[in-house]
Structure 1
Amino acid sequence: MDNKLFALVDHYISERVAPEDEILKAVNTSIEKHGIPQISVSASQGKLLQVLAKLTKATKILELGTLAGYSTIWLARALPLGGKLITIEFSEKHARVAQENINKAKLQDLVDIRIGKALDILPQIENNKEGPFDLIFIDADKPPYLEYFDWAIKLARPGTLIIADNVIREGQVLDPDSTDDKVIGVHKLNESLRNHPKVFSTIIQTVGAKEHDGMVLALVE
C-alpha cells in the first residue's frame, strides 16, 4: 500500500473540510512537548466524529480514551449549549494535559474528565444514572474492547451510535494465530458483531495519515 499517497490524500481532505485551528494545532504541540504517544485520530477522522455527533443530535457523549483531548475537542464542539461529554483517561499525566487543552478550547463547562480504569469508572457512571448517552466513542486500550463495547450498550438507548476505533490494525486481524493482545482484543469485538442481538453495525476501513485501520459503527436497537 502507498502510505505516502494515503497521507497526501488525507491532507487534501483535511485542508478542505477539516482544517485544524490554533487550538487543535496546540493539542498536537502539547503531545510532542509532553512525550505522549502520537495516537490521536487524524483531523479528517476528528471531523468524521463531529459529523456523526451532529447526525445523531448528540447532547450526551461518552468517550473512552482521552489522551491529550484531541478527539474530545472535535466531539465537544458538536454539542449544543447545555450538552455534556464525559471522557475517561487512565493516565493522570495525559488527563492533566488534556484538561489544559480543553480549558484553552473553552470547553471546560461541557467536558468532564474521569481519571482511572474505564472498567472501574463505567459501573460508577451506571450507578449514578449519568446515561443514556447519544454517542459513545471507544478509543482506549485494545485488549478489553469487547468489555468496553458491552458497557457501552448498557449505557446506551435505542438509537445510540457506538464507534470503536482501531479495529483493523493494518490488516493484522486477518491472522487467526496472532499473539498480539491488541489484535486479539479488537478481533473479539469484531467477531461479536456477526449476530449481535442488540446492534445494527458495520466496520469501515480507514486509510490516511494514520495508515490502514478501521472503525466499528454500531447503532443500538
Structure 2
Amino acid sequence: MSVQSRTRVVVLISGSGTNLQALINARQAGQLPIDLVAVISNRPGVAGLQRAEAAGIPALTLDHKDFESREAFDRALQELIDRHHPDLVVLAGFMRILTPEFTRHYEGRMLNIHPSLLPRYQGLHTHERVLEAGDKEHGVTVHFVTDELDGGPPVVQARVPVHADDTAEALARRVQAQEHTLYPLAVEWFAKGRLRMESGKAVLDNEPLGPSGRPMETSRR
C-alpha cells in the first residue's frame, strides 16, 4: 500500500454503529485519507447499516445464523470482505469471536476497539466488572487483532476516572465518548503509514509501543 494512496477500509459491525459514525464524520471532515468501501453486519436491520447507507457506503449483511458453524461463517465473511480489496479491516462493535484462520488472514491490517484498559478485562461486561472490582479508573484500548481474544498489541489507550456514584451505564457513556476520538486517530495513523504491526508489536513512527500502547490524556470529569 502506498502511503500516498487512499486507504481502503471495510468496517464490521453488529449494532448501532456509533464508532462507524465517528469514522464517517472524521472522513467527511477531511481528517482521514480513507475510502470506506463497505460496512458489513452479522445482524440484519441494525442501525449501523442505516448510518452506512446515509453516508453512501455499501451496507451489507451476512447473518451468522445462516451458517452451521463459526468456521463456515468466517470463511464466507472473509470472501465477502476480500471482494472489496481492503487495506484495513476495522471492527466497530462487531460482536463475534473470530477464528484463528480469519485473524491470521488479516494480521497487521485489522483493528479493534475494546472498552477496557487492556490487558485488563478482556471479553464482555467490562463496565460492570470495573465497578465490581472497585477500580479507580477505566478506559478504552484500540489494538491490532490477533487470534487471542482482545489480546493483540495495543495501539492507543484513553483513561477515564471511575466516580463513587457511577453506574455501568454512566461509565459506559464516558468511555464511549473517548472511543469516538480514539478510533479515528488510530485509523488516521494507519492510513498515513505511521502505524503498523511488526514482530507482534504495534509500531508508531518507527518506534515499538509498550504493552499499553500510546497513552492519551483525557478529561477528568
Normalising by the residue count of structure 1, what TM-score does the alignment of the two structures yield?
A: 0.43
Q: Which protein is richer in helix relative to its size?
A: 1
Q: Which protein is richer in strand relative to its size?
A: 2
